[in-house]
Amino acid sequence: MFTREHRPIGTSCHNGRVREDGRLVLAGAPIGQAGDVSPRLREVLRSADVVAAEDTRRLRRLAADLGVEIGGRVVSYYDANEAGRAQELIETLKEGRTVVVITDAGMPGVSDPGYRLTRLAVEEGVTVTALPGPSAVTTALAVSGLPSDRFCFEGFPPRKTGERARRLSALSGEERTMVFFEAPHRLAESLEAMAEAFGAERPAAVCRELTKTYEEVRRGGLAELAAWAAGGVKGEITVVVGGHVPDEGPPDLEALVAEVERRVAAGEQRKAAVAEVAKAAGMPKRELYDAVHR
């Protein structure tokens, strides 16, 4: 019997049973440069039985740029027809076919069509795999200069002012770096709303046209970025916002005095020790100096 870790492609394990079945492939599309695609994507476009594309014209343009001839049937798969098309594609998968889902850019299912079909495939025990590819989320995070060890993706902020304010207010205490998508014509008002919810000086980066000819990354406080965006911005936009830094409260004065005394005992001048310890603690050195003398 095959284990979960050692079963061949083309089989599926669901509720303990292994069966031969079709294969759903979620294919990452380039977010800018066609040359970023992998050899595996070229091959799967040639060999798949069905390619479900968010925009069939863009798919054919990409295939032409790559010099790839799509071997299977091409069908549209976008927001408006996703629910109905997903059921059709499930039946195709259950017949043992390979279905590739590809969106205009990035990974299917990440603020793009793909989630519903993936969910149905999982429920039906159909094999789901992915061809990893470029993602605006991780690309923007990497170039933002903001902490990337912990982050969350929040998609598009709500369009309505009140809903957006409530959503951002709920995120005001989020300590992870946050990544948002936004339409260029709504960018300025979204940044203003973020400045209101998170603070005008909260560090952020607006990443525009990533990997494309006119790529631009603007970094600064939210209020500063909102003022810049008010002049008009074009292109695909990803916004990265630094997380909330909790207030650590007032410094432990006794511990700071002890640190000064330790430094003095080690041979450091008292005045210099007070200055260094106060600076590190973010407090006035006169206050610490008085405490040391007391």
Do 173 and 59 share a structural domain? no
Cβ atoms of 98 and 45 closer than 8 Å: no
pTM, full prediction: 0.73
Between the CA of residue 46 and those of 22, 36, 37, 43, 256, what are the distances in Å?
A: 17, 18, 14, 5, 67
In a domain, 248, yes or no: no
CATH number for the domain spanning 79: value is 3.40.1010.10
Do 193 and 147 share a structural domain? yes
In a domain, 4, yes or no: no
Going by pLDDT thresholds of 50, 70 and 90, the confidence category of residue 279 is confident
Do 123 and 152 share a structural domain? no
DSSP 9: B
DSSP output for 80-93: GGHHHHHHHHHHHH
Residues 249-264: b if buried by 16+ CB within 10 A, e if exposed: eebeeeebbebbeebb
Do 209 and 178 share a structural domain? yes
Host domain of residue 80:
11-134
Do 65 and 32 share a structural domain? yes
- The contacts of residue 111 (CB under 8 Å, 6+ apart) are 155, 156, 181
Do 28 and 130 share a structural domain? yes
Cβ atoms of 60 and 157 closer than 8 Å: no
Do 156 and 118 share a structural domain? no
Do 187 and 174 share a structural domain? yes
Distance, C-alpha 217 to centroid of its chain = 16
In a domain, 2, yes or no: no
Going by pLDDT thresholds of 50, 70 and 90, the confidence category of residue 96 is very high
pLDDT of 17 strictly over 50? no
Last residue of a domain, one of 200, 220, 241: 241
Do 72 and 145 share a structural domain? no
Last residue of a domain, one of 134, 168, 198: 134
Going by pLDDT thresholds of 50, 70 and 90, the confidence category of residue 15 is very low
Do 226 and 168 share a structural domain? yes
* Identity of residue 17: R
Domain total in the chain: 3
DSSP 29: B
- CA end-to-end span of the chain, whole Å? 76
Do 144 and 69 share a structural domain? no
Do 228 and 118 share a structural domain? no
Cβ atoms of 266 and 245 closer than 8 Å: no
In a domain, 5, yes or no: no
Dist. CA 165–CA 187, nearest whole Å: 14
In a domain, 90, yes or no: yes
- Average pLDDT rounded to a whole number, residues 118-136: 92
Cβ atoms of 207 and 237 closer than 8 Å: yes
| Predicted local confidence at residue 11, as pLDDT | 44
- Average pLDDT rounded to a whole number, residues 104-120: 90
In a domain, 1, yes or no: no
Distance, C-alpha 159 to centroid of its chain = 19
For the ranges 90-94, 279-283, 284-288, the one whose mean pLDDT is highest: 90-94
Last residue of a domain, one of 134, 167, 191: 134
